[in-house]
Amino acid sequence: MNDISIISIFQGIATLAAGDTSIAIARIVLILLGIALVYLGAKNILEPLIMIPMGFGMATVNAAVLFLSAKTMGTIFVDPMISDPAQLMNIMQIDFLQPIYTFTFSNGLIACFIFMGIGVMTEVGYVLANPFSSMLIAICAELGTVLTFPIAVAMGLSYNEAASIAMVGGADGPMVLYTSLMLAKDLFVPITIVAYLYLSLTYGGYPYLIRLLVPKRLRGIQMDLSKIPNVTPGEKIAFSIITCTVLSLLFPVAAPLFMSFFLGVTVKEAGLKHYISFIEGPLLYGSTFFLGLLLGVLCEANTIMNPKILILLVLGILSLLLSGIGGIIGGYLMYFISKGRFNPVVGIAGVSCIPTTLKVAQKEVTQANQYAIIIPYAIGANISGVITSAILAGIYVTIVPVLK
């Protein structure tokens, strides 16, 4: 009979000792990082809806490595590299999260579910009430999404990888997930993790950017809310179906995102209460939960040891910074066009991290002038940012693969 040692019984510890030292250190670091994410999420320092399941997944998957064979180590959570149908059917009976990953994550469906939920909670009337300012600001707020692409290429990333990390500047997690799945599947895990970690930090970082670029006297500009026209549900529905159709004609590869978002908007405006309660409740929060959990579980040490991770971290924060600057530039353009009647802080809301950036904008304005309200204009810019980010995703996914 073979001798059985205590360490061989506790395989998570045994694999730490048996594996490569750098991988073992990375596993320990990721376990500690996962615990930290749970703590920061529970304290509402980072977004709890994403960070708590992500942290649990990250800590657990890096602790639960076992010997799959005499020469192979792995986990029984998920194997993202399996593509052969026979192997896939076999692994779905072993890895407990594999069915969720295969049928909702690896094809971008989970991103579409979340986008549908965002649509149900979105008020597009403010876009129709102020279409020019909303879209101008949103276009300017894509500065990071556009400029980061050539910078990433110059830093050695491929066109597909550069486009995927550039989408972090759109500040829309599902969009980053969708684009990276389409263009850079080998890097979509670290890119998406970088995106969600940084999006959780926008609430803490963007206020300082606003104070740096917008003087207090301009932050306190009180805008005229009396001229905002009322938009009927019928007009919102017409806008949704026409815009969805036109965008799908132009960028068919991003049509699932367009359809999901505008369908959510239409369900809300049509007053379909049963659909609304399902989409904004179980569908949205269930998808968000499994998105966070799967991101954490996919964050294994072998994946994170990719040498490109540091470049992605730098480019992700650069993209968000440039987009914030671009949004404020858009706010200043409207300030000059309106001859000083438009509050330039609205520009930060063009970065489409719904509803974080519009909350940041209003909070900074209130601190400068407690009577100033910019929320209607900020909502318009915020929602337009979602639309422009989806358009940029469509452009990247359509054009980048054919570039030499």
3-class secondary-structure state, position 73: strand
Q: Which of 60-74, 112-126, 184-198 has the highest mean pLDDT?
A: 112-126
Q: Is the pLDDT of residue 255 over 60?
A: yes
Which residues are CB-contacts of 238 (< 8 A; sequence separation ≥ 6)? none
- The predicted pLDDT at position 67 comes to 80
Position 143 confidence tier, pLDDT thresholds 50, 70, 90: very high
Q: Is the pLDDT of residue 39 over 80?
A: yes
Task: Choose the weakest-confidence range: 81-90, 109-118, 228-237, 251-260.
Answer: 81-90
Q: Is the pLDDT of residue 44 over 70?
A: yes
End-to-end alpha-carbon separation of the chain, Å? 61
CB 334 within 8 A of CB 102: no
- The predicted pLDDT at position 10 comes to 78
Alpha-carbon gap, residue 44 to 340, rounded angstroms? 37
Average pLDDT over residues 45-74: 85
Structure tokens at 82: 């399996």
Share of the chain above pLDDT 90, in %: 48
What's at 49, amino acid-wise?
Answer: L
Classify burial at 76, counting beta carbons within 10 Å of its beta carbon; exposed 0-12, middle 13-18, buried 19 or more.
middle
- The predicted pLDDT at position 31 comes to 93
Cα→Cα distances 380→122, 125, 127, 136, 296, Å = 10, 8, 4, 11, 33
pLDDT tens per residue across span 308-343? 888 988 999 999 999 999 999 999 999 999 999 999
Q: Is the pLDDT of residue 362 over 70?
A: yes
**In the chain, what are the domain boundaries?**
6-75, 123-229+300-402
Q: Is the pLDDT of residue 4 over 70?
A: no
3-class secondary-structure state, position 197: helix
Q: Which of 180-189, 221-230, 271-280 has the highest mean pLDDT?
A: 271-280
201-221 in b/e form (b: 16+ CB < 10 A) is ebbeebbebbeebbeeebbbb
Single out the residue of 276, 280, 330, 394 nearest to residue 130, CA to CA.
330
Q: Is the pLDDT of residue 70 over 80?
A: no
- The predicted pLDDT at position 5 comes to 59
Sign of CA dihedral 111, 114, 116, 118: negative
pLDDT tens per residue across span 174-221? 888 889 888 988 788 788 888 877 777 777 789 999 999 999 999 999
Between residues 204 and 43, the one the model is more confident about = 43
- The predicted pLDDT at position 353 comes to 80
Q: Is the pLDDT of residue 286 over 90?
A: yes
If you count them, how many residues does the chain have? 404
Average pLDDT over residues 170-177: 83
- The predicted pLDDT at position 404 comes to 57
Which residues are CB-contacts of 253 (< 8 A; sequence separation ≥ 6)? 182, 394, 397, 398
Question: What residues are paired with 73 via a beta bridge?
Answer: 67
Between residues 201 and 20, the one the model is more confident about = 20
Structure tokens at 264: 């959510």
Q: Is the pLDDT of residue 3 over 70?
A: no
Between residues 384 and 4, the one the model is more confident about = 384
Average pLDDT over residues 279-295: 92
- The predicted pLDDT at position 1 comes to 46
Sign of CA dihedral 112, 114, 115, 120: positive
Average pLDDT over residues 64-80: 80
Single out the residue of 180, 52, 54, 159 nearest to residue 111, CA to CA.
180
In the predicted model, what is the mean pLDDT of the chain?
88
- The predicted pLDDT at position 92 comes to 87
